[in-house]
Amino acid sequence: MQCRRAIAAVLAMGLAAPALAVEVPDFGPNVHVVDPATPDLQGLIDGIYAAQQPNHFGPRRDAILLKPGTYQDLRIPVGFFTHVLGLGARPDDVHVIGDLRSTAFLDDNATQNFWRGAENFAVTPTLGIGDNTLQWAVSQAIPFRRMHVRGNIRLNQNQGWASGGWFSDVLIDGLVNSATQQQWISRNSQWGRWTGSNWNMVFVGVRGEPAGEFPTPGQRFTKVARTPLVREKPYLFIDAKGSYAVRVPALRRDSAGISWANGAGKPVTAPGKTLPISRFFIARPGDTAATLNAQLAAGKHLLFTPGEYLLTEALIVKRAGAVVLGIGFPTLRSDNGQPLLKTADVNGLTISGLFLDAGKQDSGVLMEVGATGAGKRHKADPIVLHDLFFRIGGAAAGQVDTALRINAHDTLVDHTWIWRADHGEGVGWTSNPAAHGLWVNGEDVTIYGLFVEHFQKEQVVWQGNGGRVYFYQSEIPYDPPTQSQWTGPTGRGYPAYKVADTVARHEAWGLGAYSVFLKPDVVLDRAFEAPQAPGVRFHHMITVCLVDKGSIEHVINDVGDAARCQGGSNTATLKSYP
């Protein structure tokens, strides 16, 4: 009461009220909560980067949380397993004047720049690469959400390659230059201008999309004017009372542009609900699955902090409306053959920001959404998955039959990379075996930003009706030892994307499949396979042969030219099917 009276007296005199002290929850040692007055803040950030830039497969994880305020002349380089998050109610509440940068891991080549992200703050790139430009040279598993770039952004480094990325709910005042980026998806974003196209650029619900259309070289753009259905990712912030909370945005239908400002850039408050941090159990490395499941059963939501979590039983999320949110790429692993996460067939679940790593024993599946035979409908309040990243091998040998299986109807997936590792430790045809990346049984499942790579059979199998996919990127496996060891029921190899013959309704936009075969006698007959049905439609497909071995003979079914690096074109495109 005395504090309130003192503030009121200050306001009566026409002076600014003193800042309220914010009690920081115990997020553990891997979360760094900072403000503009943090002593040697640049040194802290540089120290994290020095450890994380070479940390391709190591165990360290870091989250940097920026309290509201203006950060003058601050450089934020972002390495592996580093997550930079603003704590404002809106992105502009945290303003970095200086630089935010992702630097290529291999000289100028950013095709291995994985597992890093930036969310919910504004950057004016005065200390960038010149011309008020921010360099964000990245590839897969790089959430860039609720960001405001008060200038320009470039998506590669110098003339080096980069391969795949993600924008959502992003405002860029100036130019986006995709340069040598091979493929990219932007959802519900806005910018002054976009330039650049290589293989596959997809825009869904975007304002400021470029002119031109796939498959014209230099204009390989796939444009969907409005996002049919999405719920933006929850975010941690400091509320008006000075307390930590998690904002869970409401479902958006038929939307375009960003959620936190109108078309003219004026701030708006998007619908949603705010959950106080007291309703979350803050998980830290060392917490057991039994502890986490007990907290869920007691009615808590989960906030995972950075680090590795070795689980001996599956996490079971079964309460309608439960929120599981990770910051700093928290990594779940099981070495005793248990799945990592299972959900019930209930409304409104939100699972966001987790890294799921396959263990020594095959668990059958790493994550399962709804049990087999799930039959409930969730159209009014769907299950939503954001920024879920799966890895089989790379840090160590691991195996699984299927990484992600979706049985629940009306599930939304908003950005996922499902990766059977092609480099690192424990990598090889028999060292990190995995058949499928994604298997969908549920009906009316919608996915934005689907990246699935290197699995030994079909990368994606779709058995549920009504599926929709906006952007698909897939490298088929590099390492089939022989053609006879990699031949499926319909021909040589396994398609990168298979829609079952029983499916009557399916639609996909902006798909790419790429080959890097290590053996010269290996061929894939069809990149995509789907039934010939009036309700099954594909828009804008490309295949690319990236080395001088093997080929992809057809784009979809027996339609489309071959992509061959010897004796023909190394790319093939198809605008629509049928």
- Identify the active-site residue in 368, 443, 458, 475: 475
Which long-range contacts (C-beta less than 8 Å, at least 24 apart) are formed by 555-559?
555/526, 555/527, 555/528, 556/526, 556/527, 556/528, 556/529, 556/530, 557/526, 557/528, 557/529, 557/530, 557/532, 558/526
pLDDT of residue 6: 36
Residue 556 has pLDDT above 80, yes or no: yes
Residue 531 has pLDDT above 70, yes or no: yes
Structure tokens at 14: 């026409």
Structure tokens at 322: 């439960």
| pLDDT tens-digit map of 256-300 | 999 999 877 788 989 999 999 999 999 999 999 999 999 999 999
How far apart are the C-alpha atoms of 3 and 12, rounded to whole Å?
Answer: 14
Structure tokens at 60: 């360290």
pTM across the whole model = 0.95
How far apart are the C-alpha atoms of 536 and 505, rounded to whole Å?
Answer: 5
**Distances, alpha carbon 357 to alpha carbons 283, 379, 462, in Å:** 18, 30, 23
The distance of Cα 191 from the centroid of its chain, to the nearest Å, equals 20
Question: Cis ω on the peptide bond leading into residue 215 (within 30° of 0)?
Answer: yes
Closest CA relative to residue 194, chosen from 180, 205, 178: 178
The distance of Cα 3 from the centroid of its chain, to the nearest Å, equals 43
Residue 1 has pLDDT above 80, yes or no: no
Closest CA relative to residue 355, chosen from 337, 332, 385: 332
How far apart are the C-alpha atoms of 552 and 117, rounded to whole Å?
Answer: 33
| pLDDT tens-digit map of 121-167 | 999 999 999 999 999 999 999 999 999 999 999 999 999 999 999 99
475 is catalytic: yes
3-class SS at 334? coil
The domains located in the chain, with CATH, are 27-231 (2.160.20.10), 279-577 (2.160.20.10)
For the chain, the 3-state helix, strand and coil shares in percent, each to the nearest 5, are: 5, 45, 50
How far apart are the C-alpha atoms of 443 and 377, rounded to whole Å?
Answer: 9
Structure tokens at 303: 């906030």
Residue 541 has pLDDT above 60, yes or no: yes
176 burial type by CB count under 10 A (0-12 exposed, 13-18 middle, 19+ buried): buried
Pairing of β 94-101 and β 122-124: parallel
- H or E element: which one contains 52? helix 41-52
Residue 330 has pLDDT above 50, yes or no: yes
Question: Cis ω on the peptide bond leading into residue 433 (within 30° of 0)?
Answer: no
Give the confidence band of 108 by pLDDT, cuts at 50, 70, 90.
Answer: very high
- φ, ψ (nearest 5 deg) of residue 79: -100, -165
Side by side, the strands of the sheet bearing 272-276 are 235-238, 244-249, 272-276
| pLDDT tens-digit map of 6-52 | 333 333 333 333 344 568 999 999 999 999 999 999 999 999 999 99
**Distances, alpha carbon 384 to alpha carbons 115, 234, 325, 378, in Å:** 20, 11, 12, 10
pLDDT of residue 262: 87
Give the confidence band of 84 by pLDDT, cuts at 50, 70, 90.
Answer: very high
Structure tokens at 107: 């000289």
Closest CA relative to residue 251, chosen from 311, 153, 321: 321
Pairing of β 69-77 and β 94-101: parallel
Residue 98 has pLDDT above 60, yes or no: yes
pLDDT of residue 11: 32
What is the residue-averaged pLDDT of the chain? 95
Residues facing residue 83 across a β-bridge:
63, 117
pLDDT of residue 21: 58
Number of helices (H) and strands (E) in the chain: give both, helices first: 3, 48
Q: Side chain identity at 239, as an amino acid letter? A: D
Structure tokens at 3: 């504090």
Percent of the chain topping pLDDT 90:
93
How far apart are the C-alpha atoms of 188 and 257, rounded to whole Å?
Answer: 4
3-class SS at 563? strand
Q: Are 228 and 238 in contact (CB under 8 A)?
A: no
Strand stretches in 61-182, DSSP E? 62-66, 69-77, 82-86, 94-101, 116-119, 122-124, 133-135, 144-145, 148-149, 152-154, 166-168, 171-177
Q: Are 88 and 121 in contact (CB under 8 A)?
A: yes
Burial 362-387 (b: 16+ CB within 10 A, else e): ebebbbbbbeeebeeebeebbbbbbb
Q: Are 488 and 476 in contact (CB under 8 A)?
A: no
Closest CA relative to residue 230, chosen from 210, 209, 203, 252: 252
325 burial type by CB count under 10 A (0-12 exposed, 13-18 middle, 19+ buried): buried
